[in-house]
Amino acid sequence: MTTPHQQPQQPHQSPEYQPQPGAQPGGSATATAPPPQGPPMGGGYASPIPLTRTHLGHAIASEWTKIRSVRSTVWTLGVMFVLVVGIGLLTALGLSGGEFTGMPLLAPGLFGLMLGQICIITLGVLVITSEYGTGMIRTTMTACPNRGRVLIAKSLIFFLLAFVMTTVACTITALINLALLSDQEIPPYARKMKTLENSIEGGQVVADSGQWLGATVGAGLYVALLGLLALAVGSLLRHSAGAITAMLGLVLLPLVLALFMVGETMEKVREVLMEYSPLNGLASLYRIPMAAEDQNATGWPLLGILAAVTVVALGAAYSMLRSRDV
């Protein structure tokens, strides 16, 4: 019971308690969650970098950055250039002196290129196997999940670089041969040789347009295709030493085996190995084929065969790249 001087006690309310608007007196107020803080639903961090759809051009730019920023590219191409031009110069100096060499005018350029092609083959292998060795291939495939695009970009960049550098080196060597060997004295018997019928004009050794094309552009294409084949083999084996050894065996072994195959029973096999060996294809572009059966060979058919083999190898590399983990 309360007296007139006493007020009824109010129930204790915690500071956190706040009646909700619209709640009925004496009724139970419905608790509501506080308004959400931060950005509205669906919002978040917006990158200032615009999103663009990637394409082959991005992969090519990436591979060009990688191939020009590693030391192996500079060293292998530099050694190739020195071998092709240096040995070509030394050979031309040794053959100069007025006596007829018995070879077409641009043929001495072959000797330096036979060694220089090993550098291109090595670089072709390292373009892809070096990433497997360091684990960088995982980063490459993460940045570009389209594995076929990566293989195409690597192949295009390497092939164009190898072709341009080799062709420039072969052209310089051809010009050196022209300057040092064009004044040879031609004996009478040499003017009747069928193998030199397009190499002698007006009593001087000359080179027609076909010989120039084969000794420069043809040789550059041939060596670049060998390097591209090495890239495909490197992608298949994923091991630098194994792929380089396999390519050197492919280039050198047929000719070495043919040289040791004596006797009539092995004659057919020897002829096939000699004719289709990679070194014979390269020599035929310089008009000095190693196969005695076809001394007028130009090397272009063997270049086509090499291109077909390279395409098949790249197809196998693409299939294996898609079917297995990196």
Average pLDDT over residues 94-102: 77
User: Of the ranges 51-65, 184-198, 206-220, 255-269, which is most confident?
Assistant: 206-220
Residues 224, 282: contact at Cβ < 8 Å? no
> 3-class SS at 282?
helix
H/E stretch holding 201: strand 200-201
DSSP 180-200: HHTTPPPPGGGGG-GGGTTTE
Q: Which residues, listed in sequence order, are joined to residue 204 by a DSSP beta bridge?
A: 201
The mean predicted confidence, pLDDT, of the chain is 84
Cα separation, 91 vs 71, in Å, equals: 30
Residue 198: pLDDT band with limits 50, 70, 90 = low
Torsion of CA 167, 163, 246, 76, to 10 degrees: 80
Domains of the chain, residue spans? 56-323
Q: What is the mean pLDDT of residues 123-129?
A: 95
Q: Give the pLDDT of residue 306.
A: 96
Q: What is the pLDDT of residues 40-85, one digit of tens each?
A: 555 567 767 677 788 889 899 999 999 999 888 999 999 999 999 9
